[in-house]
Every structure is written in C-alpha cells, then in structure tokens.
A = this chain, B = another copy of it.
C-alpha cells in the first residue's frame, strides 16, 4: 500500500506532465462531450422534426417544442463555447469570453433554417443515389451519412464563427459513430452524399462542389506538407483536393494533394490519384488480365 501512495505521488507530480496535464483557472467549466452530445441530439430534433423524440401531431405543438429546444441549445451551447474559449486560451478575459460565446451562439441559431435547407438537399441526394433506400424517412432515420453530414454542417458553422475545439469534438463524435471522418474546416456544397461511409476521410482544406457522391473508404487527403524551419508542418496551407460538381468517387480510392477533380469526372474503386483529373473523364483500375 506504501507502493500505492508512491505511485499516486508520482502521478500527481504536475511538473512532470506538462503537456498531459491541463490546469485551468478556477471555476471555469470544461468542454463536456456529454453535453455536446446532448446539444447535437437536440439540434437533430430541431432540424428533422418528428424523427427523433416524440411524434409531432400538429403544427402549434411543433412550435412549442422547437421553442423549448432552441432555448435549451442556446443556453447549453453558449456555455460550451465559453468553455472552449477558456480551455484553448488560459489568459482570456472571462467577461469578454462570455460575450463572444453569447454572440457566436446567437448567430449560429439564426443560421439553423439555412442549415436545414442544406440538409434537405443531402437527404434528397442520398435517397435518389441509393436503390436500396426505401424512403427519405429511412434515410433520415438510419443512414450514417445523414448523421455525419449533420454534425459536419453544424461544426462547420461554428468554425466559421471562430469557435475553437468544439467543432472538432462534434465531427469526431460522428466519426466514432459512423466511421466517416470529415474535418469541420472542409467546404462542402449542396446535395452531398456518401454511401456506406466507413473509412471515408475528408481533410481540413478539401473543397467539394454540389451534387458530389462518394463511397466508403475514400480519402481526400494531403500528399505531403511543407515543414517550417524547425521541421514542423506548417499549419493552414491548402493541401487537400478540390472536387468539382457532379463528381463520383467509388469505394476505397485515395485522392491526395491540392489537385482538382474536374466536373462530372468519375473515379473508380481502389484508385490512387495524386494528379489533376480532367472534367468529364473516367478513371478506373485496369483488371489483372
């Protein structure tokens, strides 16, 4: 038991674990993944009324529910954004962080109708692109892409509002649930869909047009990245592909670097692509024989 106390003392020696131990000004809340999960769930009920939570049987009831949900999201999200600010910058002035969190939340809430419109196009694209889909209802209720694209579109809006940390937590939740890893910094147009989706990766600086369809295991990644004079990767440089409108990329293909896949191009399965692809072209693996 003495050994136990010694181990405890070693593990409590904060001088020793500078990166791994996070100290925080007293009384400031921490970002909380459980509450962020609750926020995303509530947003889902707002964006897809009548699918998650109780049935909607009439329009006036709907407005009461949305009112309460919006109030809840405003309160909780504002706290979490505040926590994100404080967690990311120990020297931030609290009063100002509160105000900034409050403002970012208000702008975000105003953009929810636009977000719902975008998600409506994703649902359509998913339903029309999959012969196995029985109805839009099934798509909304079950398809991983809808969960992943919802989290991404929420996170992307927050990132545009300069909210730190929180957007990445939100896309990683969807990554864990669906195997679809979309960085919140990516730019994605309307009518986007990914079929099956497990293993798909969309990098931070990727730009995707409208009506693009991707399959499972596709990577839109960086090929290499320039290092600074200390040999560390330089952050923020565009290094992921640009995918133009109407492109289809089949399963397990890997598209690397700041290349452009032109409009209407089709990339077959299991391809490795690191050069531009002309609009309208179709590239596939040659068969073994």
A11 touches B112 (CB 8 A): yes
Q: Is A58 part of the binding interface, using a Cβ–Cβ cutoff of 8 Å?
A: yes
Q: Given A17-B120, A57-B23, A109-B7, verify A63-B64 contact (CB < 8 Å).
A: yes
Count, chain A residues at interface, CB 8 A: 131
Which residue of B26, B198, B254 is within 8 Å of A181 (Cβ)?
A: B198
Number of copies: 6
Interface residues of A in 214-259 (CB under 8 A from B): 215-217, 219, 221-222, 225, 232-237, 239, 250-254, 256
| Least distance between A249 CB and chain B CB atoms (Å) | 12
What's the minimum C-beta distance from A243 to chain B, rounded to whole angstroms?
Answer: 17
Shortest CB distance A117–B (Å): 9
Of the candidates B179, B239, B270, the one whose C-beta lies within 8 Å of that of A272 is: B270
B7, B137, B176, B270: the one contacting A112 at CB < 8 Å is B7
24 contacting pairs across A/B (C-beta < 8 A):
A7-B113, A9-B63, A11-B49, A12-B59, A17-B49, A17-B116, A19-B120, A20-B49, A21-B56, A23-B56, A30-B55, A54-B71, A64-B68, A131-B234, A131-B239, A132-B183, A132-B235, A133-B235, A141-B165, A141-B169, A176-B177, A251-B254, A269-B272, A270-B271
Q: Interface on A for B, CB 8 Å cutoff?
A: 1, 3-5, 7-12, 14, 17, 19-31, 46-51, 54-68, 70-71, 74-75, 87-88, 106, 109-110, 112-113, 116, 119-120, 123-124, 128-138, 140-144, 164-165, 168-169, 172, 175-179, 181, 183, 185, 196, 198-199, 201, 203-204, 215-217, 219, 221-222, 225, 232-237, 239, 250-254, 256, 268-275, 283-288
